[in-house]
Amino acid sequence: MPTSYQMPLFSALPVAFTHGQGAWLWDTQGKKYLDALAGIAVCGLGHAHPAVTAALCDQAGKLLHTSNWYEIPLQEQLAERLCKLAGMDNAFFCNSGAEANEAAIKLARLYGHQRDILTPGIIVTEGSFHGRTLATLSASGNRKIQSGFEPLVQGFYRVPYNDLAAVQQVGERNKDVVAVLVEPITGEGGVTIPDAGYLKGLRKICDERGWLLIVDEIQTGMCRTGKWFACQHEGVVPDVMTLAKGLGNGVPIGACLAHGKAAQVFKPGSHGSTFSGNPLVCRVALAVIDELDKGKFAVRAAKLGERLLAKLKEKLGKVPGVREIRGQGLMLAVELDRPCKELLQRALESGILINVTAENVIRLLPPLIFTDSEADLLADTLDMVVRAYLEPITK
């Protein structure tokens, strides 16, 4: 249980872990758990990955931090690697996904001001989640995380997710719009997968109107959905892309990448961060990219995701109370017809770590290093847990 010295911000489950290995974690009592959450899409390479450990230890013994007032060669290398993978031009590093999105929002506003738009607006979507700083929670389409923190940051126009016509309509009525901020697949919003062509349609609208397309790849990026970045499924190159989570495999790092005209917006002094891209986090992120590339984990995530999705559909697809099973790569969801937070504890007791989001969606974000047998074990165990939970209505 959290102590009285900790702010009561998290409803932690009654378990503490001592160590991990691959896709497994061990608690203080020696019980082991199959991790199907990966720290919310963070530990794509699993726990205690040798290459990550080696990079972390070696760099910690050399140099942890220097100010951005000096050149940081590892940061330069990381920026180049990410830009080449994503088809972007330059990068700003920070410490989290929220900070990456905060940078993207500031970039979009500055882009507007540089075009003499005094109150630049950004189109955002219902059900989205972009972080918990004041600007990013204002941009998020989640009333629950906004409540009590009003007045919110102004300048966001909200439209339904997966609705291109609504974006067009907002553009017709508001001449101050300068950007669209969108997740390729919603994460906290319930793993909603838009129709094919949605991102491409947004790209077209943004091009026609001179807006920036900002794609939040914080949860979907770094091979999670079967491509390095989810927007690549549609061949879309955004103007701004934000990353975090899987980039550091547990070491806190975020990135805001920019392309084309967006890459020319920030100037010296426009933005910054003390810890931005220090040698330690950049060395680890480079090791993560090396391993993802070497192991072809984008391809692996696509293949294993198909296997896991098929197994979940086979086992739970026709169970009363299961509304839909969906996913792309290793970002999967089982949607029930009722709230199911209780499943977190039940899954824990059964030895698997899962997540429930949007009240009734079981979210699965296993490490990309999952084996076929671990995927089968997850499907079998989740089948048992969900059936037991729904049992009263299946009889």
Which residues are marked as active site?
Answer: 129, 216, 245
Determine whether 87 is exposed, middle or buried from the number of CB atoms within 10 Å of its CB (0-12, 13-18, 19+): middle
Are 281 and 348 in contact by the 8 Å Cβ rule? The answer is: no
What are 59's two structure tokens? Answer: 């760099």
Interatomic CA distance for residues 133 and 177, integer angstroms = 22
**Contact at 8 Å (CB) between 229 and 221?**
yes
Residue in the structure block whose two tokens are 């098929």: 310
Q: Are strands 331-336 and 322-328 parallel, antiparallel or unpaired?
A: antiparallel
Contact between residue 375 and residue 310 where contact means Cβ atoms under 8 Å apart: no
DSSP state, residue 22? B
The helix (H) or strand (E) run that includes residue 324 is strand 322-328
108 phi, psi to nearest 5 deg: -65, -40
Q: Are 157 and 174 in contact, with CB atoms under 8 Å apart?
A: yes
Task: Report the candidate in 314, 315, 361 with the shortest Cα–Cα distance to residue 337.
Answer: 361
Contact 176, 111 (CB under 8 A): no
Q: What angle do CA 160, 163, 183 make, to 5 degrees?
A: 70
CA distance 376 to 384: 12
Contacting residues for 144 by C-beta, under 8 A, at least 6 apart: none
**List of residues 6+ apart from 283 with CB closer than 8 A:** 55, 56, 58, 59, 74
Q: Rounded to an integer, what distance in angstroms lies between the CA atom of residue 130 and that of residue 124? A: 10
74/63 Cα distance (integer angstroms): 11
What amino acid is encoded at 218 in this protein?
I
